[in-house]
Amino acid sequence: MSELRFPDNFLWGAATAAYQIEGAAREDGRGPSIWDTFSRTPGKVHQGQTGDVACDHYHRYAEDVALMAELGLRAYRFSIAWPRVQPDGTGPVNPRGLDFYDRLVDALLERGIDPIVTLYHWDLPQTLGDRGGWTNRETAEHFATYATAAYARLGDRVDVWTTLNEPWCSAYLGYGSGVHAPGEQDAAAAFTAVHHLLLGHGLAARALRAAGARTVGITLNPADVRPADESSAADAAAVRLVDGLHNRIFLDPLLAGGYPEDVLEHLSRIVEPTFVRDGDEKLIAAPIDLLGINYYQPTYVAGRPDGGGGGGAYPGTDGAVEFLPPVGPLTDMGWMVEPAGLTRLLERIATDYPGVPLLITENGAAYPDKAGADSPDGPGQVADTDRIAYLEGHLRAAHEAISRGVDLRGYLVWSLLDNFEWAEGYRRRFGIVHVNYLTQRRTPKASARWYQEVISRNGL
Ligand code: FCB
């Protein structure tokens, strides 16, 4: 294959999230989050695993930053745990919680790595969860207060501030299918949460700007929704419905001024959207400087009156849509590998919502890697050629989008480290660095060395 070069200043990096790596769940005044509660609820997470210790990054951040520097990362996306900053979600700021991020940011800057902050990667303070979580409008207001506190401490050194990670998951998996915290199964609650998450973004973005933030954005996981049969009108209608529920319900209010009519009509059959108040849409639509895109696999759908729909994650699609099972070869998550989906998605967003720079804030794959003495690849070796193939395919797809004119600023691999993969616990390994959870030993996989090369050559 031909050599590919990425634009100068293309931002190469890696991403993680607080609850997935930090551990130290009760240290330095951190309050409980809905994920602490959820992971302790029997049957919710694989083998009852929790983020109590995770990768112990809270104590090992210096070692982890040294590793990032060794790999040549230019950017590192991490999330701040709201319950470290405000243990109850409201009220006084806990300075010891912010001290950790202060140390982390300084360590990154010393190594020339740009910090990219996510303010919310799903670990809502439990006290706010008890008051209805994202179904309560007040949560959006509290989120802006928390954002202001985080900015006040780190804004002098952190340039890039993103509000939410994948509000689709927070709303539909948290309140619709119940696969994520807080584990509710209530379609009306899911739609209510969608709006309050977007409102939280809008309020926080406004507060960050008022405080002086230069680059403000949000990360979504838009789906590349495809028809089972390109020539079927029924399948095209299914694509339109699913695209509305997954993509346009977020993208339109953020980047096109308000909710799409067809989506409002659909959700009105489930809940009267009285939670959308005058002025909300204007606030949510305030311009952003960056849109983060997380992409893993495409979504194939067919229009069928007997279709089972997407369950709680796609309220109201039963009896209208069939979600096709992914076809192999699959990753260890059971996800499809289709790099062309990334090109399509980036182009579509750039076309339909022009003018916003894009950043791939997550892309990567889980494979069942083993390191250590018993590694099939030799002691202490992880020859993850399947991950390298996944990453290479998706980088080529990203490059293709750039060559078609998409303003793509960078690529952050998910993830730096193997970590707590939510409901799947520790059994799914997404890291380019292997973590032995008994010893906390980090072992860069072959993919880490490969990525290091890609970064140093600025291409493939
Ligand atoms: C995304 C999440 C991230 C990680 C990857 C695999 O949905 O943002 O935390 O779990 O999936």
Q: pLDDT tens, 232-282?
A: 999 999 999 999 999 999 999 999 999 999 999 999 999 999 999 999 999
121 is in an annotated binding site: yes
3-state secondary structure of 5: strand
- H helix runs in 121-229, sequence order: 126-130, 137-154, 167-168, 187-211
- Dihedral sign from CA coordinates of 364, 370, 371, 376: negative
Q: pLDDT tens, 179-225?
A: 999 999 999 999 999 999 999 999 999 999 999 999 999 999 999 99
Instruction: Give the residue from 186, 104, 120, 161 showing the smallest Cα distance to 416.
Output: 104
Instruction: Give the residue from 459, 369, 366 showing the smallest Cα distance to 411.
Output: 459
Q: Within 13 Å and on the Cβ side, how many CA atoms surround 376?
A: 6
Question: Pocket around ligand 1: residues whose beta carbon is below 6 Å from it?
Answer: 17, 20, 165-166, 169, 221, 294, 362, 414, 421-422, 430
Q: pLDDT tens, 388-402?
A: 999 999 999 999 999
Q: Which residues contact 76 (CB under 8 A, 6 or more apart)?
A: 13, 14, 15, 16, 65, 68, 108, 113, 114, 115, 116, 416
- Rounded CA gap, 328 and 253, in Å? 35
Contact 129, 34 (CB under 8 A): yes
In single-letter form, the type of residue at position 109 comes to: L
Please identify which of the residues 166, 281, 322, 392 carries the catalytic annotation. 166
422 is in an annotated binding site: yes
DSSP conformational letter for 169:
I
Question: Directed axis angle between helix 385-403 and helix 446-457, to 10°?
Answer: 30
pLDDT of res. 376 = 77
Please give the CATH topology (third level) of the domain spanning 11-457: TIM Barrel (3.20.20)
Helix (H) or strand (E) holding 282: helix 280-284
Distance 79 CA to ligand 1 centre (A): 12
pLDDT of res. 377 = 76
Q: pLDDT tens, 258-272?
A: 999 999 999 999 999
Distance 307 CA to ligand 1 centre (A): 27
Residue among 166, 416, 417 to mutate when testing ligand 1 (max atoms within 8 A of CB): 166
For residue 166, indicate whether it is catalytic.
yes
Q: Whose CA is closest to atom 10 on ligand 1? A: 421
pLDDT of res. 381 = 87
Report which ligand 1 atom has the smallest distance to the Cα of 422. Answer: 10
**Can you give the residue ranges of every domain in the chain?**
11-457
For residue 77, what are the β-bridge partners?
Answer: 15, 116
Residue 408, sorted as left (phi over 0), alpha (psi -120 to 50) or beta, turns out to be: beta
296 is in an annotated binding site: yes
Report which ligand 1 atom has the smallest distance to the Cα of 166. Answer: 8
Distance 17 CA to ligand 1 centre (A): 9
Residue among 414, 418, 429 to mutate when testing ligand 1 (max atoms within 8 A of CB): 414
Q: pLDDT tens, 306-355?
A: 999 999 999 999 999 999 999 999 999 999 999 999 999 999 999 999 99
134 is in an annotated binding site: no
Distance 269 CA to ligand 1 centre (A): 30
Confidence of residue 380 (pLDDT cuts 50, 70, 90): confident
Q: Whose CA is closest to atom 4 on ligand 1? A: 421
For residue 27, indicate whether it is catalytic.
no
Confidence of residue 26 (pLDDT cuts 50, 70, 90): very high
Residue among 362, 420, 426 to mutate when testing ligand 1 (max atoms within 8 A of CB): 362
Q: pLDDT tens, 110-146?
A: 999 999 999 999 999 999 999 999 999 999 999 999 9
- Rounded CA gap, 172 and 409, in Å? 29
Report which ligand 1 atom has the smallest distance to the Cα of 165. Answer: 8
Strand order in the sheet with 299-303: 225-227, 299-303, 321-323
Confidence of residue 1 (pLDDT cuts 50, 70, 90): low
Burial class (CB in 10 A: 0-12, 13-18, 19+), 412: buried
Distance 167 CA to ligand 1 centre (A): 11
- φ/ψ (deg, to 5) at 258: 170, 175
3-state secondary structure of 279: coil
Distance 368 CA to ligand 1 centre (A): 17
Q: pLDDT tens, 83-111?
A: 999 999 999 999 999 999 999 999 999 99
Q: pLDDT tens, 57-80?
A: 999 999 999 999 999 999 999 999
- Rounded CA gap, 193 and 179, in Å? 15
Please identify which of the residues 281, 322, 362, 392 carries the catalytic annotation. 362
Tell me the percentage of the chain whose pLDDT exceeds 70.
100
165 is in an annotated binding site: yes
DSSP of 19-84: HHH---TTGGGPPPBHHHHHHHSTTSSGGG--SSSTT-HHHHHHHHHHHHHHHT-SEEEEE--HHH
Confidence of residue 382 (pLDDT cuts 50, 70, 90): very high
Q: What is the mean pLDDT of the chain?
A: 97
Contact 141, 186 (CB under 8 A): no
Confidence of residue 2 (pLDDT cuts 50, 70, 90): low
